[in-house]
Structure 1
Amino acid sequence: MNVIQLQNLHYRWQGQSRDTLAIAELHVAQGEHLFIRGASGSGKTTFLNLLAGILRPASGSLTILGQALHSMNAARDRFRADHMGVIFQQFNLLPYLSVRENAQLPCHFSTRRKQQAGNMQATTNRLLEHLGLDHQLWERPVTDLSVGQQQRVAVARALIGSPELIIADEPTSALDTDTRDGFLNLLFQEA
């Protein structure tokens, strides 16, 4: 089964005369990993936001896990919460929540991910430990953390509840070499 399937996908920012993205065809099968690289401003984040259903294509089809994301409306947000873990380039952590609360956030919006997580405390602890976040930080607000530590919280949030698809925008940009390697190993174990 294809996890991602795109056909004649086009996206154009409002007010632009040319397409920002035009992808004739793309298929990603279950178990495959897709890495996207390109210059700054080349459309990588736009592409990932299309895959996550945050942006809607101007034309073409976008099917994720068998669901036609391009034709979903309100159900698109529920689908994303249930089936996708997203690591945003700017992390999008909630500043008034603790490290632990931010990591567990998807389970409050998705019964499916909450069930998949099982014992939420144990699962959260395992993810935070694997990502090298000292347990003394877990109850502190994320605003007390360094940028690299915040990025690890964003990673834990994306992985909790074992979503079928992980979409990661610059997931290692603020990580040191050891933490980056540990994150990539964890990502490949979990994904």
Structure 2
Amino acid sequence: MRVRTQQPPRPRKGVRSVVIALVATCAVGAVAAPIALAAASADRAPVATGGDDRLLPTPEAPRISDGSYAGFQFCGVPTGDPVVTTGTPTLAATLESVASPGTVEPARPGPRRKVVFEVDTAAGQPVLHRHLISDTSHDTALQLPEGTLTDGAYRWRVRVKDGGTASGWTAWCSFTVERR
């Protein structure tokens, strides 16, 4: 007795052409996407201030919070300046890596970036100038010590330093302290 096995149907020529075109389109997109991302990050305005050939982008998304477990309020939003209800708010910003697009930043144990915070009154009188080391190359935060701020209007900004290279300052972030 002979058993007949059925062969699966062969795809039609038109379907095969569509599959090949789809695979080719995905391959082109996989190559073009990193190039487009690198070009977009090159549009940011990094500043070199030393003899080092690396550039540091200006920190992004400056934000302020009432404390460790409170949510952050972003600076520069159309709804108005942030208002905090404590004299010890947390200032934070997102840092960018100094590695060139498409490269991997070498793993270094310990602190990553020197970060400089400046806090002034709204009239421009210096209140605090603090250097610290960020534990990561992605974010930085500074909780202001008790007694630094009283009720009133203030502004703050931040920048990153790495050796002889420094980023530009962020725009001033205005905020108000209104303790309850």
- Fold equivalence (TM over 0.5): no
The TM-score, its normalising length taken from structure 2, stands at 0.23
The TM-score, its normalising length taken from structure 1, stands at 0.23
In proportion to residue count, which structure has more helix? 1
In proportion to residue count, which structure has more strand? 2
Q: Quick check: which has more Rg, 1 or 2?
A: 2
